[in-house]
Amino acid sequence: MRAPGRGQVDVELVEAVGAAAPAVERGADWRELVRRVPRRAWTVVAGVVVLTLGAGGFVEWRAERAQTSRLERIEGLTGSLAAPLTDVWEAPGEGVIGIIGDVLVLYGPEGEGVLGVGLDDGAPRWERSPGGSFGCWFVRGDGGTRAGWWQGPVDVLEPGSAVLACVDSVPFEGVSFPNVVTGSGGASALGPQSEVSVLDPASGAILRRLVLPGSGHPTQIEDSVVAVGLDAEDRLVGSRWSLLTGELAWEYTGPNVGRVAGVSMWSDTETMTWEAGDVSVTLDSRTGDAIDPPSEGEPGESELDRFTLPDGGTAVSSVIDGTGVELTVTDADGTPRFTTTGHAFEPLVDDGTAPHTMLVQPSGGAGIMAVDARTGEDLWRSATPRWASPVVLAGRVVLREKDRVAAVDVHTGETVWEHDDHEPDAGGGLVTDGRTVLILARVDGQTSLVARDVETGEQLWRIPSPVDAGALQPLRDGRVLLSGSRRTVLLAP
């Protein structure tokens, strides 16, 4: 070999006979790897991915279908509130009295009289000036009644199944109406006395007017009206009339009690008591006979309301001796379950997420409480008050007040969410589609329709309200009536 020079080194070469040269590794090419995967394997992988995604989507679809099916069985829900509602029509008058056939009956503009408008188009059907100063209500042929301004869903009655009764006051002297029915007490120099106008709510035709003897304000009992007051000779007089037929059930003439002040009167389905100073008269409201009042110390009972529980039981709230409120719960066959204090109230909507739980207004206390509807055991108490009837949805009791809306856990009573940024006196009512609650609220001086998620309280949308103040009422077909500011608006999804 040549001798090494500058920058050169000696190298010894060794020849290995029969040995293979070492392989040189290259970085793997992913495209080459992909090409090596059999087509059948790719088909299997693709099928697995599709099945996985499809299974997840199918489970979600099934859950949504189950939720939708469950909500369809719940009474009192509106149509979808996922998007803002739109105005269908606007009509004069405010205060929903009821619906018969395709006629919506409202209190008239400026609070005078009553009128009927088309339920689908808001077009006027009839208007009557008499009636309504002291309230109107539907009297059904089966004896049931429905007063205006009720918060729950508005039932649509069949034409001919009910009459409309409206109470006004009229002066005693010179009373003269066609088709007037009066008691033997006649007219007097006293005033005012009560007149009940009975109308056909479908056509507005006046069926009869009942001018009641005496100066007392009438009380509605079942399908009749009862009144007790003084006549021109300072005698205590009373009568009971059928609102459906105009027939006189009984008439009462009692002693001369003189001109008295500080008159009070109270009644229930069985008795009526008139009291002034040392004079007190109690009448049997069915017969008109004078009966002995409850003995001193013996509690008098006046029923406030009753409703049927989901399990078939009955909850009855009554005022006892004019002081406290007592709650009695019985089985469907009348067997007593328990008696406690407080006023039970029925939710506007109940989705069944709180079985055997009954909501109660504590007697003489603020807030709400829950009791076991089977035993009467106190479950929880919350300081959150209620201004209107709540809804029970998704394990929440959503409560509306004048200046806020809140939700409490139906099992614990703990507040889940609350929004108290509303200004008072925007209106009342609360409607829901089962997922969202809609209220009328005034925020930053603007009256708006505000929709919130039931579970989180998150505001989903808010739009200006077509009325400054009013009340929301759901219809059975999913639409919503907004009544206030001397007009009524029909809203729909």
The pLDDT of residue 230 is above 90: no
Q: CA 338, CA 300: separation in Å to the nearest integer?
A: 19
The pLDDT of residue 302 is above 70: yes
Instruction: Identify the pLDDT of residue 102.
Output: 96
Mean pLDDT, rounded, for 486-492:
95
Mean pLDDT, rounded, for 461-472:
92
Instruction: Identify the pLDDT of residue 335.
Output: 95
pLDDT band at 48 (very low <50, low <70, confident <90, very high): low
- For residues 220 and 182, which has the higher predicted lDDT (pLDDT)? 220
Q: CA 242, CA 205: separation in Å to the nearest integer?
A: 18
Output the CA angle 167-171-174, nearest 5 degrees.
120
Tell me: the pLDDT tens digits for 95-113?
899 999 999 999 988 767 8
Q: Which two tokens stand for residue 229?
A: 């007051």
Closest CA to 354 of 377, 340, 372: 372
Instruction: Identify the pLDDT of residue 363.
Output: 78
Per DSSP, what are the bridge partners of residue 443? 446
The pLDDT of residue 173 is above 50: no
- Residue % of the chain over a pLDDT of 70: 73
**Cβ(86)–Cβ(144) under 8 Å?**
no
The pLDDT of residue 486 is above 60: yes
Instruction: Identify the pLDDT of residue 64.
Output: 52
**Cβ(478)–Cβ(434) under 8 Å?**
no
Instruction: Identify the pLDDT of residue 150.
Output: 54
Tell me: the pLDDT tens digits for 143-162?
665 554 455 678 889 999 99
CATH of domain 300-420: 2.40.128.630
Between strands 336-341 and 324-330, the pairing is antiparallel
pLDDT band at 303 (very low <50, low <70, confident <90, very high): confident
pLDDT band at 401 (very low <50, low <70, confident <90, very high): confident
Instruction: Identify the pLDDT of residue 50.
Output: 57
**In whole numbers, what is the pLDDT of the chain averaged over residues?**
80
Between strands 391-393 and 349-350, the pairing is parallel
- For residues 314 and 384, which has the higher predicted lDDT (pLDDT)? 314
Tell me: the pLDDT tens digits for 234-254?
888 889 999 999 999 999 998
The pLDDT of residue 393 is above 90: yes
**This prediction's pTM:** 0.78
Instruction: Identify the pLDDT of residue 176.
Output: 37
